[in-house]
């Protein structure tokens, strides 16, 4: 066979393509983050800019609050289960979290919304979910959330549920979760 050398050359090129595509799989992670950031899609760890503070007094919304924990021996609850507010109005609520064990732990709260579409209209100015929360043993902490519901909210939405789940962050190994 006279073309052994050219076969090997092609083999090498194709291996490079395969390895590059393996790298591309990982490169998709930052690319995806960047696209979401530039397109403004749902960046949950950043404060929203509230541009329009016009309060729409013709509508009154019920906003319900919910709290969950995952893998963390923490007690987590909102101080108010629901409030009524107008779109455009600045709302201030407080959540309370208690570390039920003697050891310190590290957690991150992730919000979710019901109905899902409400997520993009709840503009959070301040939230404990923007940063990780480190609790000392038996510490109790009250944490604020400040947000404005965008008056552009579709008219058929009258009840919004804002739910937070505290996840255990590795690194600050939480007690109890061995």
Partner 1 sequence: MEAVHGHAHEHGHDHHGPTGIMRYLTTTNHKDIGSMYLWFSFAMFLLGGAMAMVIRAELFQPGLQVVNPEVFNAMTTYHGLIMVFGAIMPAFVGFANWLIPMQIGAPDMAFPRMNNWSFWLLPPAALLLILAQFVPGGGAGVGWTMYPPLTIQQGMSMDLTIFAVHILGMSSIMGSINIITTVLNMRAPGMTLMKMPLFCWTWLITAYLLIAVMPVLAGAVTMLLTDRHFDTHFFNPAGGGDPVLFQHIFWFFGHPEVYIIAIPAFGVISQIIPAFARKPLFGYSSMVYATASIAILSFLVWAHHMYTVGMPVQAQLYFMFATMLIAVPTGVKVFNWVATMWKGSMTFETPMLFALGFLFLFTLGGFTGLVLAITPVDVQLHDTYYVVAHFHYVMVAGALFSAFGGIYFWLPKWTGKMYDETLGKWHFWLSFIFFNLAFFVQHFLGLAGMPRRIPDYSLQFADFNAVSTIGAFGFGLSQLLFLYIILKALRSGEKAPQKPWEGADSIEWTMLPTPAPYHSFEKPPVIR
Which of 57-65, 89-97, 140-148, 164-172 is the region at the interface with partner 1 (rule: CB under 8 A)?
164-172
Interface with partner 1, residue 45, by CB under 8 A: yes
Q: Interface with partner 1 includes 177 (CB under 8 A)? A: no
Q: Is 94 in the site for partner 1 (CB under 8 A)?
A: no
Q: How far is CA 68 from the centre of its chain?
A: 14
Q: How far is the CB of 29 from partner 1 (least distance, A)?
A: 6
Q: What is the pairing mode between strands 122-127 and 140-149?
A: antiparallel
Residue 90 bridge partners (DSSP): 148
Q: Which residues contact 78 (CB under 8 A, 6 or more apart)?
A: 65, 66, 67, 93, 94, 95, 96
Give the 3-state secondary structure of residue 66: strand
Return the closest-CA partner of residue 61 out of 38, 33, 83.
Answer: 83
DSSP letter at 6 equals H
14 binds partner 1 (CB under 8 A): yes
22 interacts with partner 1 by CB under 8 A = yes
**Does the protein bind partner 1 through residue 26 (CB under 8 A)?**
yes
Contact string (CB under 8 A) for partner 1, positions 101-130, x = contact:
------xx-x-----x--------------
SS3 9: helix
Binding stretches for partner 1 (CB under 8 A)? 1, 3, 6-7, 10-11, 14-15, 17-26, 28-29, 32, 39, 41-42, 45, 70, 107-108, 110, 116, 167-171
């Amino acid at each position: 066979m006279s073309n052994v050398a050219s076969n090997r050359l092609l083999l090498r090129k194709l291996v490079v393509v395969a390895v590059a595509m393996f790298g591309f799989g990982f490169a998709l992670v930052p690319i995806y983050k960047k696209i979401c950031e530039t397109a403004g899609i749902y960046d949950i760890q950043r404060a929203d800019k509230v541009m329009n503070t016009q309060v729409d007094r013709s509508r009154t919304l019920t906003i319900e609050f919910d709290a969950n924990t995952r893998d963390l021996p923490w007690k987590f609850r909102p101080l108010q289960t629901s409030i009524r507010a107008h779109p455009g109005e600045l709302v201030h609520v407080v959540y309370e979290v208690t570390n039920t064990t003697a050891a310190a732990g590290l957690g991150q709260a992730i919000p979710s919304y019901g109905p899902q579409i409400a997520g993009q209209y709840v503009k959070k100015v301040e939230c404990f979910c923007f940063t990780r929360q480190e609790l000392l043993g038996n510490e109790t902490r009250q944490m604020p959330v400040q947000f404005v519901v965008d008056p552009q909210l579709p008219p058929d939405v009258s009840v919004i549920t804002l739910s937070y789940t505290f996840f255990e962050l590795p690194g600050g190994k939480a007690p109890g979760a061995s």
